[in-house]
Amino acid sequence: AGYYNEHLPNVELIKPYVANNVKHVFHQYVIRHESRDLLQKRLKAFGIITLIHYSKPIHRQQAFSNKEYSPFNLKWTDAICKEILSLPIYPELSKGSLDLVSKVIEEI
């Protein structure tokens, strides 16, 4: 995660925020990009597998269908769910793989 934070370009994507006084255990590295689907498609073309872990916000899931949650009340949640993309992250991920992900995103 630290490597991504340092090497991913700062343009047109939002990286995870971690406050200085905390340590984060990244089991997912989730970025936001307004053209998430296009970004995911282009990364896949380079053999980089990404995931969308939470494509449907909780207030839109069947378990909450009988609750009084209005989609208009959670417009930011709806918008963010259309932008999130999980990049590859796991302990055995090589520096070369991290460099490739960063390079491809920068070129895109």
Q: What is the arithmetic mean of pLDDT over 36-46?
A: 95
Q: Is the pLDDT of residue 71 over 60?
A: no
Model pLDDT, residue 62: 81
Q: Is the pLDDT of residue 43 over 60?
A: yes
What is the DSSP secondary-structure string of the chain? -HHHHHHS-SSS-BPPP--TT-----S-EEEE-TTHHHHHHHHHHTT---B-TT-S-GGGSGGGTTS---TTTTHHHHHHHTTEEEEP--TT--HHHHHHHHHHHHH-
